[in-house]
Structure 1
Amino acid sequence: MKAVVFSGTTEGRRFSQKLAALGAKVTVCVATPLGAEEQGEMAGITVHAGRLQPDAMAALLAGADLCIDATHPYAVDATKNIRAAAAQAGVEYRRLLRAQSPLPEGCAVFETAAQAAEYLAGQDGNVLLATGAKELSAFASLDPARLYPRVLPTPEGIAACEAAHIPHKNIIAMQGPFSLVLNVALMEQFHIQYLVTKDGGAAGGFAEKVQAAAKTGAQLVVLRRPPEVGETEDELFTHCQEMLQWSH
């Protein structure tokens, strides 16, 4: 069985390794060199690094038995493109879901980063932006001196902060997920009163952020996860096992 996994997430790495261990030939597609570095090397797995347009995705899927979309829950455009490419290539598409987190009482919940920025505009105090570099432009209306973005330690991450006029002393360039202790230390160091995050689930260290906000007395601001349909890791793994049995 040949499977193509669009990954760059913890569950995508884990799932591709489980598939390869079953004897499947797996191609893992990640968008960045950092994704390839995190994936690592394993027998039975070929890694393709670099963003792909739908046509290139479809070409890569040619001859595959299964397309697994294990991209980040908030990567809506990527999911749309992968779904379209699988349809174009005539390959079965499956979406691997990340379990949602229970949201604590008292957190401010918004559909978009722009709505969260609007809310913050009416408040005073420093903001830890743990939403990723891509969302930074949505907070452009706020005073950059208040913002402490936590971004990946890549040239793109730093460039996004510079483009948003974030003072260099405010840039936190680190690769997560982060422990409760580290979250609390950063929030105390920078006098953070608002922590803005996505519901990244257990893989994204969501619980540690919730606990850190509670511990430091900061207001938790959550960007709601886009609704989607798919399968859990266990459900999808069972399906793959059945596919492998049929192919023998």
Structure 2
Amino acid sequence: MKVILLGGTKDSINIIQHIKKNYDSYILTTTTTEYGAKLAKEGGSDKTIARPLPKEEIIQIIQEEKYEILIDATHPFAEHITQTSVSISHELNMPYIRFERPTTDFKDMDTTHIHYVKSFTEAGKLIEKEFKEGNVLHFAGANTMGDILKYVSVDRFYPRILKVESSIEKCEKLGVDPDHIIPMKGAASLEENIELIEKYNASVMITKESGEIGGVVEKIQAANEKNVAVVMIQRPEIDELNKNDIVSNLEELDIRLKNFF
């Protein structure tokens, strides 16, 4: 089974390990960063590509190397690549699976501190208008900082990012003080989030609705304990995506794979 996996998430590493353990397979994993490719290789991927790929190049790779199935395990907020992967599967008439972590069930949690928005621009405007005091913890990735900083002073902005070259360069271009950068190594625990709120005198936390694997529950719990606002960007709706192509766990993935092979 020759698999091309669009990765870069913790989910994608779990998928690689599961497929290599349970199937006679060859996996090419594409990621946008060297760090993501390193983790994929360590997870068992036979080959990796560590840069953003245009649609035409993905098609060329699939056709020339005869990949049989396309699995999209990119981040829930990587809207463009999911739209692209759906389009590729249709054009090539090839099996396609979208692995998407389930949304978080907040029914048993105190959600009074959460302010839902649909975009990072909307998040920046909300903070500018409603939360003028205290510092801002940005737990939503380096690529989204610019939209926030159009409305929020860089002096009160503290991003938690992977300390990789591309992210550091983005901080430099946006004028983020190096002392404000919080190094990230996986999802933070409740205690770590509380410590960050206290250390940086935060009044607001920005996060994506990225599911439990992204540590969103621990962020909300910490915000509740420290009386801090959570500005949460909701997942984008991807019209091109067929709900029947979505799986949310490895058991569902197995069912789809066995249907195809």
Answer whether TM exceeds 0.5 for this pair.
yes
The equivalent of 2:178 in structure 1 is 168
Using the TM superposition, give the Cα deviation of residue 138 of structure 1 relative to its aligned residue in structure 2, in angstroms.
0.7
Shift in alpha-carbon separation, 1:66–1:182, aligned structure 2, 3 A? same
The amino acid across from 1:91 in the alignment is M
Distance 1:42 1:99 in 2: 22
Kept after mapping to 2: 8 A contact 1:152/1:173 = yes
Indicate yes or no: 2:63 matched with 1:54: no
What residue number does 1:112 align with?
119
Corresponding residue of 1:232: 248
- Structure 2 equivalent of residue 178 of structure 1: 188
Q: Which moved more, 1:172-181 or 1:218-227?
A: 172-181
Q: Deviations over 1:48-74 (max 9, x none)?
A: 222111011111222222111110000
Gaps of 5+ in 2: none
Shift of 1:25: 1.9
SS at match of 1:41: helix
Shift of 1:43: 5.7
Q: Which of 207, 216, 220 is equivalent to 2:217? A: 207
Runs of 5+ unmatched residues, structure 1: none
Tell me if 1:99 matches 2:102.
yes
Q: Distance in 2 between matches of 1:59 and 1:219?
A: 46
Q: Over residues 140-189 of structure 1, what are the superposed CA-to-partner deviations in whole Å (9 max), with x where a residue is unaligned?
A: 22111111111111111112122222222211132321111111111100
Matched letter for residue 115 of structure 1: E
Name which of 122, 127, 134 aligns with 2:143. 134
Per the alignment, in what secondary structure is the counterpart of residue 101 of structure 1? coil
Q: Give the TM-score taking structure 2 as reference length.
A: 0.88
State the one-letter code of the partner of 1:212. A
Q: Structure 1 CA distance, aligned partners of 2:171 and 2:42?
A: 32
Letter of the 2:95 counterpart: E
Q: Which letter does structure 2 place at the counterpart of 1:132?
A: G
1:39 is matched with which residue? 40
Deviation sequence 1:105-143 (CA, Å, 0-9, x none): 221000001111111002222110111111111112211
Q: Which residue of 2 aligns with 1:10?
A: 10
Secondary structure of 1:74's aligned partner: coil
Mapped partners of 2:194, 2:41: distance in 1: 30
What is the rounded CA distance, in whole Å, between the counterparts of 2:44 and 2:12 in structure 1? 16
Give the secondary-structure state (helix, strand or coil) at the position aligned to 1:40. helix
Q: Secondary structure at the match of 1:18?
A: helix
Deviations 1:70-97 (A, max 9, x none): 1000000111122222333332222111
Does structure 2 conserve the Cα–Cα contact (< 8 Å) formed by 1:157 and 1:173?
no
Shift, 1:7, TM fit: 0.8
**2:166 — aligned with what?**
156
**Identity, % of aligned pairs?**
25
Deviation at 1:42, TM superposition (A): 5.6
TM-score, normalisation: structure 1:
0.92
Closer, same or farther in 2 for the Cα pair 1:201/1:43, shift >3 Å? closer
1:89 aligns with 2:92: yes
Deviation at 1:38, TM superposition (A): 1.6
Please, what is the CA RMSD of the aligned residues? 1.7
Question: Aligned pair count?
Answer: 244
Rounded to whole Å, the distance in 1 between the matches of 2:209 and 2:185 is 17
